[in-house]
């Protein structure tokens, strides 16, 4: 028995425990407990604080799967055992089209292994980074699928607690799979200990930050089971709806509502959350705006989805979801991912060129074609080089630079030398070359054109 097993004798990763591998294929389960040699690693697709995720091929069946390899020593050293076990507990309890499926778990002397369904198209965040934002049909569709997934989890007494675009994966047919349940809690089950909260600051609900939060003690591990319908048990689910409001805002605007201007201490983010310090860009869809405002409510009792605000059905019936056919979502063809480009003000349209309609989407479409030619591997390669070699990378908000060049920005008699950076999104930043300071961003719209003012 290894040191980990001796220290944590009740950890249900121990291979001898009956029923531990109910998710394993029968060919593996009946022959012998699974082991790393049953799988061939094809490529690495992600890294977490104590784990690495690979695409693997199961040798016996030829199935392509994802394997999450968790470092035991790191888990032990950082007291993350509860988080590791919570993820397994959630995955073994769930069976839903919008939840990542657990294939099997096993361990060796150094690592714990989760073998999972492989979501081929990766994180929703990667597409959001490429396009910066989604148009309303895309945002509506993916938000609706997240709502269905959350409703299922809450029906199983599970609260995700770390909902964000990184934890929404996309399958072959571009439907969602919620993943990463290390921060989750299972209510009303004293056998499963809730992990200490490890969510992401920008998506944390204000009740999680309260010094008197019911979620910072052991009450989450099942002791809330005897509480009344209006108690904190019901309200616990609402932290996921707060995060849903943050995600919807980000899908449409391209950034989370409470993201600090620079990488600063999380307390700055927490202050913005408590003060509801966020704004909507011009042209933000009014129904989406209303939904965000009704989800980002400090008092969870008044938050949309609470028992006093219509319950879960209050979400489905919100005007933003008008036209959504909820029951057939898994079988629908997702809308094509398109950036949300807000039109310019209509004033003066009668003076625009007659052929403007033909040119209206020229730039965005050309941009989409450009990024479409990059595979995920190519983008990762170029982005890594950019991080290592390009001194202007720090001004791009972690977006890939497509083109860059020097232009002289003239005001009055003076011309100032600026480096212009065209990035994914699209975004067009300009930087003072001498002081190496970001000076601004050129607003991007469907009508953006270039005009030579002088040949000097």
Q: Binding site for ATP: which residues?
A: 68
Tokens 């930087």: give the residue.
Answer: 431
Q: How many CA atoms lie within 13 A of 29 on its CB side?
A: 13
Buried b / exposed e over 373-397, threshold 16 CB at 10 Å, is ebeeeebeeebeebeeebebbebbb
| Tokens read off for 261 | 């201007």
Q: Is 162 a catalytic residue?
A: yes
Could you give the maximum distance between any two Cα atoms of the chain, in Å?
82
CB 35 within 8 A of CB 21: no
Q: How far is CA 323 from its chain centroid?
A: 25
| Tokens read off for 177 | 């799979």
| Tokens read off for 446 | 């469907």
CA distance 68 to 54: 6
CB 93 within 8 A of CB 186: yes
Q: Which of 162, 221, 240, 285 is catalytic?
A: 162
Annotated binding site: 68
> Rounded to 10 degrees, what is the CA torsion of 210, 215, 217, 219?
140
Active site residues: 162
């Amino acid at each position: 028995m290894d040191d980990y097993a001796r220290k944590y004798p009740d950890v249900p990763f121990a291979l001898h425990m009956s029923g531990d591998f109910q998710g394993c294929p029968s060919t593996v389960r009946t022959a012998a407990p699974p082991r790393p040699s049953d799988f061939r690693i094809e490529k690495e697709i992600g890294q977490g604080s104590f784990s690495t995720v690979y695409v693997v091929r199961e040798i016996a069946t030829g199935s392509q799967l994802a394997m999450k390899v968790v470092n035991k020593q790191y888990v032990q050293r950082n007291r993350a055992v509860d988080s590791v076990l919570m993820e397994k507990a959630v995955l073994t309890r769930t069976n839903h089209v919008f939840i990542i499926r657990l294939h099997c778990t096993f361990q060796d002397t150094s690592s714990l292994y989760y073998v999972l369904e492989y979501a081929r198209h990766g994180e929703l965040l990667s597409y959001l980074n490429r396009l910066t934002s989604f148009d309303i049909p895309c945002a509506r569709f993916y938000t609706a699928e997240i709502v269905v997934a959350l409703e299922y989890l809450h029906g199983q007494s599970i609260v995700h607690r770390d909902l964000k675009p990184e934890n929404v994966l996309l399958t072959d047919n571009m439907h969602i799979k919620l993943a990463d349940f290390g921060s989750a809690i299972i209510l009303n089950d004293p056998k499963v200990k809730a992990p200490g909260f490890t969510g992401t600051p920008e998506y944390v609900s204000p009740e999680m930050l309260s010094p008197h939060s019911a979620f910072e003690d052991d009450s989450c591990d099942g002791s809330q089971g005897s509480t009344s319908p209006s108690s904190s048990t019901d309200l616990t689910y609402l932290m996921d709806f707060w995060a849903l409001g943050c995600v919807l805002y980000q899908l449409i605007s391209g950034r989370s509502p409470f993201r600090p201007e620079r990488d600063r201490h999380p307390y700055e983010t927490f202050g913005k959350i408590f003060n509801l310090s966020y704004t909507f860009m011009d042209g933000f869809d009014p129904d989406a705006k209303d939904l965000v405002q009704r989800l980002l409510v400090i008092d969870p009792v008044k938050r949309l989805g609470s028992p006093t605000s219509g319950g879960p059905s209050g979400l489905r019936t919100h005007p933003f979801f008008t036209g959504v056919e909820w029951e057939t979502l898994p079988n629908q063809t997702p809308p094509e991912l398109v950036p949300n480009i807000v039109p310019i003000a209509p004033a003066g349209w009668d003076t625009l060129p007659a052929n403007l309609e033909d040119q209206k989407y020229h730039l965005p479409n050309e941009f989409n074609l450009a990024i479409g030619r990059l595979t995920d591997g190519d983008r990762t390669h170029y982005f890594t080089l950019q991080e290592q070699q390009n001194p202007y990378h720090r001004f791009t908000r972690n977006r890939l630079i497509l083109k860059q060049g020097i232009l002289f920005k003239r005001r009055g008699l003076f011309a100032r030398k600026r480096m212009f950076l065209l990035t994914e999104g699209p975004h067009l930043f300009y930087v003072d070359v001498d002081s190496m300071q970001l000076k601004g961003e050129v607003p991007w719209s469907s009508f953006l054109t270039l005009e030579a003012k002088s040949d000097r």
